[in-house]
Structures are given as C-alpha cells and as structure tokens.
Amino acid sequence: MIKAGIVGATGYAGAELVRLLAGHEQAQVIWYGSKSYVGEDFASIYKNARGFTREECKADDLEKMAEECDVIFTATPQGYLGSVLTEDILKKTKVIDLSADYRLSDIPTYEKWYGIEHKSPQLVEKAVYGLPELHRDDIKNTDLVANPGCYTTCSILTAYPLVAEGLIDPDTLIIDAASGTSGAGRGAKVPNLFCEVNENMKPYGVTSHRHTPEIEQELSLAADHQVVVNFTPHLAPMNRGILATEYASLVQSGGSFPAMDDIRAAYEKYYGNEYFIRILPAGEMPETRWVEGSNFVDIGFIIDERTHRVIMVGAIDNLVKGAAGQAVQNMNILFGMDEKTGLTGMPVFP
C-alpha cells in the first residue's frame, strides 16, 4: 500500500485528492497537512469524508513527511515548495507538486510571470511536466512531477496534435477558456462571493494570465519552434469545469487545406489509445457537465470552410484532470501501476 501525504489537504485540490485516494485500491493518505486546521479531524472540515477518514490534520513538515510517506502531494500556493524542497527530500520520497514552481523550464520566465524569486532553481531540471499523455515515459523515471495547471491541461491537449502535425499555424492560435469558481481556491475573496459570481461572466488576467507561458512552452515543443498565443480566461458561474474554445488558421498543403478527416486522423494518432481523452463524434461539442467529477478530457472540433480556420473545443473538470485526478494519474505512473487505478468512475450528472 502506497503511503501518501498531502500538504494543503484542506484546500479544494487537496480535498479532491483525499476523495480520489479514498477509493484507490493501492494507496492511502497517512498525512493530512493543513496550516489552518492543525489538530482538527479532516472529516469535521469536509463532512463528505465522514466514515472514510478519522485522521486529524497535521502541520506541514516536509522533512518528517519524507521519512513516513512514499509520495507527497503539495497542493499549495506558488513559491511554497520551491522554498522548502531539497535534494535530500527527493532521495527519500517522490513529490507531485500541484503548484507552478517546477512547471516552467525557464527560471526567468517563471519569475517574470509569477513575480517571485525561485528559491530552488537547481531542482527544475529534475522535474518532469506531468501531462501523462505527452510525457508518460519521462514521468516514469523522475522523483519530482510538476502537475500541470487546469487551464493549461485543457488548452494544450486540445491543440497539441494539430500543432505537432503542422495542420494549423500555431502563431494564429487564440484560446478563450472559462473556469468554474473552484479554480480560484477556497480562500475568502470578494470577487468570488456568490453575489459577485452568480448570473455573471467575466474575463480576467487578460494578456497576463500566469498559465500562458505554460501553454506556450508545451506547444513550442510540439511545433519545434517558439509559439506565442493569445490566452484569455473567464470566470463562469459554476463550481467545476474548464471549457476551452480555440481558434487557429489551417495550413495549406499541396494547394488544399486540411479536411475534417485529416483533423480527426491527427487526434486519433495522438489520443486514439488514451483512456482519458474522448474524441467526440463529428459535429458534437464538449460540455463541462459531461466530464464533471471525472478525469476525462472531451475534445470536439469543426472546420470553418469560409475562413479556413479550425475551431477546437476541450472540456475537463478543473479539480480532477485539471489538478487532483491528474496528480493521482501521475502517482500511478510513478509506482508502475495501471494509470487508470482509482480514476475510472463515470462522470457525475446532474
């Protein structure tokens, strides 16, 4: 049985990790880390956990956790793990970080977009970007996984095959994405109050959202040259979900533009054997309600013959495939298990 510890267990992503690991056949949480609720039963904070755990929350002590846990999940604000992680800890345990501290390979880019100094840049080269559908083999051989962001997971996976196959011009890529309010975390913030969010849609972080360089990093690898995208996130009046609508110009080849069959063939080439990616039938577009509570990614697409552009749409649950579910998927890979373990539940509806 894999012994897991969670730093930040009482945040939304941390609590989702608890929920998923409670149903995992080969892992159990032995350390519920929480700065705010030390000494309180986890199930008294998240009452859906009654009967599943009687453990008290403990202080965050990475050194001690490394001695007791086979894997540590860190669901913490940016900068935390970068300031406390050491090579000695990584010799004792595996770490899956849900923050952005090790996602970006370029340190100046991280410091520019996040506005903080990276305290352990020497560990960045040890980290693997934890998008299993793209980096599975590298994940198997690391002790430090940088779990991708929610917007980035959806945005990258939706466009990646078409970029990699040269079917679209990635420099024309525009991404509009909407997220449920759980993506902003559990902390009390006026913009996230019910009366501020309900019956409202709003863009934020326009031209400056911190997931932008993450998207550009991975799509640049696919294109084999530097890619720059326009990414605009929106807050939607729902608890969970990411819906990314992406637009790009098709690349003409041999006097003709790619057809729908060409687009589908590219998706099938990269994702045809991926359990968690569902390529939808022609003419069908994803909806967040059809992936809620699951680790699935739904992708649909259509060609606009008039403008010679393709519109791609992806949907995920931001707390599952966009955070905790993907972290469990990465854990399964790290320990040589079937990566679907603990993640095969059908999406919840309604």
Q: Catalytic site residues? A: 150
Q: In whole angstroms, what separates CA 178 from the centre of its chain?
A: 14
**257: nearest Cα among 166, 156, 157:** 166
Pull the structure tokens for residue 284: 């069908």
Give just the sign of the alpha carbon dihedral 109, 165, 326, 146. negative
Neighbouring CB atoms inside 10 A of 50's CB total: 12
- Interatomic CA distance for residues 269 and 167, integer angstroms: 13
Instruction: Compute the distance between CA of residue 340 and CA of residue 234 in angstroms, rounded to an integer.
Output: 30
Q: What is the Cα–Cα distance from 259 to 305, expressed in whole angstroms?
A: 9
Neighbours of 22 (CB within 10 A): 16
**Of 69, 15, 75, residue with least CA distance to 44:** 15
Strand 230-235 vs strand 242-249: parallel, antiparallel, or unpaired? unpaired
